[in-house]
Amino acid sequence: MTTKQVPVISFQNICKDYITGAQTYQALHNISFDISKNEFVAIMGPSGSGKSTTMHIMGALDSATSGQYLLRNKNITEYDDDALAEIRNKEIGFIFQSFNLLARTSVLKNVERPMMYANIPPNQRKERALQSLKLVGLEDKAENLSNHISGGQIQRVAIARALVMNPSIILADEPTGNLDSKTAHTIMDFFQELNRQGNTIVLITHENDIAAYAKRVIRLHDGTIKSDTIHSNKTHANR
């Protein structure tokens, strides 16, 4: 695994300050790590540790105050809003804890949405969206409205949508936070399967048993890296 190939993600001395009035709050302090292709990384930490900030910067949703962020060897720190939108569209597949799908919109249209922003022609879109839905086992729900499916199904649709653009990384922010434990583990099994198929996955969580599905765990505390451990081969099914 530790080859000399170019990392997918490279955080180099990333700092992030939030300025509220006269006070400056340092959310991230000199964070550096690399994530290579086909890794499955869990970023852990209690609330306020900076894991959400890390995820936002990694997802090109926010920019660092200082330091460099290389995504597939491209320094995206200096990109403007539209260029970042394109990075999010093509390189990153997001799965959020909640509010993942557009309400009153069919499952199919939800999965098609990133392709619409990439100006992919409608006939190709439908085909690719259906393929992606098949991957998560929900092709028969394609025409259902997003508010008429279960919580576990919603997350699977979100995964299908995250996969549809063939992104460099899949970024999941507490993807099981709103699910019961049985469904949560089903979803995590699925993430493992995706990783086995070659997808690079970064997972943000504060739950140990969810993080246990990952091959590598980065623990944050007060904006710094507390530990960065690679699990031995016992990753599978920690139930």
Partner 1 sequence: MQIGELFITALSALRSNILRTLLTMLGIIIGIAAVILIISLGQGATKAITDQISSFGTNLVIIFPGSLSQGPSGTAGVKTLTVADAEAILNTNPSLNIQSVSPVVTRSFLIIANGQHVNASVQGVGEPYGHMQSLTVTQGTFITDDYVSGLSRVAVLGPQVALDLFGEDAEVVGQIVKIDNRSFRVVGITEPKGTSGFTNVDEYVYVPYSTAMKVLLGQDFVQTILVETKNTNIIDQTMENIRSLLITRHKIADGADPDFSLRSSKDALSTLGTVTGLLTSLLAGIAAISLVVGGIGIMNIMLVTVTERTKEVGLLKALGAKRRDILLQFLIESVVLTVSGGAIGIAIGVGATYGITKVANIPFIVSASSLALAVGVSTIVGLIFGIYPAKKAADLQPIDALRYE
By CB under 8 A, residue 116 contacts partner 1: yes
Q: Please pick, from the candidates 9, 11, 39, 56, the single residue that binds partner 1 as defined by CB under 8 A.
A: 56
- Choose which of 10, 31, 45, 59 interacts with partner 1 (CB under 8 A): 59
Contacting range for partner 1; rule: CB under 8 A; set: 115-123, 128-136, 192-200, 220-228: 115-123
In angstroms, the CA 9 to CA 122 distance is 32
Q: Which of 68, 105, 144, 183 binds partner 1 (CB under 8 A)?
A: 105
State the Cα–Cα distance between residues 195 and 37, nearest whole angstrom. Answer: 10
- Contact with partner 1 (CB under 8 A): which of 50, 114, 152, 223? 114
Strand partners, 30: none
CB of 93: closest distance to partner 1 in angstroms?
9
| Part in contact with partner 1 (CB under 8 A); list of ranges 117-125, 178-186, 190-198, 219-227 | 117-125
Extended beta strands in the chain, E state: 9-20, 23-35, 40-44, 66-71, 74-75, 92-95, 169-173, 200-205, 216-221, 224-230
Write out the binding residues for partner 1, residues 149-188 only, by CB under 8 A. Answer: 161, 165
Which residue in the set 16, 51, 88, 156 belongs to the binding site for partner 1 (CB under 8 A)?
Answer: 88
Tell me, letter by letter, the H, E, C secondary structure of 108-135.
HHHHHHHHHHCCCCHHHHHHHHHHHHHH
CB of 188 to partner 1, least distance (A): 22
At 95, is the secondary structure helix, strand, or coil?
Answer: strand
* Piece of the chain touching partner 1 by CB under 8 A; list 42-50, 98-106, 126-134, 185-193: 98-106
- 227's CB contacts (< 8 A; 6+ apart) are 217, 218, 219
Helix (H, G, I), strand (E, B) or coil at 236: coil
Rounded to an integer, what distance in angstroms lies between the CA atom of residue 78 and that of residue 203?
25
Nearer to partner 1, 55 or 212 (CB): 55
Tell me which residues touch partner 1 (CB under 8 A).
56, 59, 61-62, 81-82, 85-86, 88-90, 94, 96, 99-100, 102-105, 113-114, 116-119, 161, 165
